[in-house]
Amino acid sequence: MDISVFKDKIIKNTLFNMLGRVWMVLVTIFLTPYIINHVGVERYGIWVIIGVVTGYFGLLDLGLGMSFVKFISENFAKREFGKLNEVINTGIVFYALFGIFLIAITFFIVKPLLLLLNVPDHLIGEATFVFILGIMIFAFSCMVSPIMEIQRGIQRMDISNIISISVSIPMIIGTIFVIERGYGLRGLIINNAFILTLGTVVNIIAAFQLLPTLRISPLLSSVSTFKRLITFGYKVQIAKIASMFHFQLDRIILASFLNIGLVTYYSVAAQLASRIRDIPVLLISAIFPAASELEANKDTQSLQRLFLRSLKYVVIAGLPLLFLVLLLAKPFITLWLGSGYERSIATLQVLMFVYFFNVLTGPGYHILNGMGKPQYTMRSSTLGIVLNLLLTILLVIKMGYYGVVLGTAIALIVSAAYFNSMSYRVLQISFRTVFIKILYRPLLACVISYGIMYIVLKQVPQIGWFALCGSACAYLISFSLITLKLDYLDEFDKVLINKYISFLHV
């Protein structure tokens, strides 16, 4: 393939991924306070916890779900459409059986589980309905996921994101309708079922348009293909488990040790922090295959340059967002959710700080795995799981709500620091080099911009949405000007930025 075409495809997919992610941030900002204000803190906590538990059920799939994109992409590139159909149909058959198993056990565990999570007695009936239907929705979404992954596998993220954004519009309308009619959580989960069905139909139509050779039949599944999927999938399952623990365990502990209402205060902050965290992560999503190719050619110097360049983009995207949240978290949460959410303000600030450390592991994660060294990810993930579990349980008993926040923060920072130290050692890069070349100048720009805007905001008696947005723009402009003045961007960066801008004009 022409390398310029390859780069153009990466840029195009990255832009559409970012568009889709930004849109979902806006949807979250709009819907979250609306739902909380209408269903209440307890019911919203139940809504969050059911989503978390459903996610944990997904860990039972042996990592199979992570294999589809790899093998769809591989077989599509080789024009092996028969094998591609085997991958998709094998996944459908496996997940159909997997879904039947999940639904069957759900009827036996739902009530004991809801009692364990401290769901109030008067909400047990409603929570039971939502949980059972939620598992059914999850099982169905798993079964159709091999088809849904075709767009990603053949690198048509433009289509997948356009569909996602389009389907979110009736989702928003449906959410408002069921809430206004007073249908509560039952209405929300039924709306989710309808939207999943709609999205599935649209994605299946798109899949057959993009892949005319696609065939859906259980007879096309094969045991050998299943073994290939599992062989790849289980190797990355530990990282998936660690991610679930880091980003979801805290909600379970809050519900189990304290009360389910506190889950709402934590979740609104964690959900927003996670959406913001995803923005810099998207910038490095395409470096895994590049690292594999460089390792095959034993090009150590290029691997080092790839690492530093990727880390540079993560820092320049993630660091100003961190300082922006630290600066504006209080007025934003107050305007967004109203008074009484002081816990959410502190939680958002702490989690943004912690998530930035986690994002710094991204370049090393992709490059070390591309080099065939997944053991470092496994070790740091295991360390993080153990620390997270022990610290959150210990500190929630000692400190209550903030003990969960602190336990999660310590576990993520320690595991991230360990992984980064291993990455630097493997790639033979010193922390001093990283600090001087990558961190020092944007950190200085953030501190100066933060200081200026902090002084300015102190003079504003009451911050409204207009002042908030103006402050955010002024901060980002100040950061950009100082960064340019410090010559942080080299010629390569400027050419790449111009390339992105040219795509936006198309």
Query: Sign (positive/negative) of CA torsion 407, 408, 414, 417?
Result: negative
Please tell me the predicted confidence (pLDDT) of residue 448: 95
Residue 140 to residue 144: CA distance in whole angstroms: 6
CB 260 within 8 A of CB 268: no
Residue 322 to residue 445: CA distance in whole angstroms: 13
Please tell me the predicted confidence (pLDDT) of residue 323: 94
For the chain, which ranges sit under pLDDT 50?
1-6, 289
* CA atoms within 13 Å, Cβ hemisphere of 450: 17
3-state SS of 366-400? Answer: HHHHHCCCCHHHHHHHHHHHHHHHHHHHHHHHHHC
Domain boundaries, given as residue ranges, for the chain: 1-221
**What separation in angstroms does the CA of 133 have from each of 115, 126, 138, 157, 373?**
18, 11, 9, 29, 41
CA 63 to chain centre: 17
DSSP 8-state class, residue 438: I
CA angle 250, 263, 401 (to 5 degrees): 65
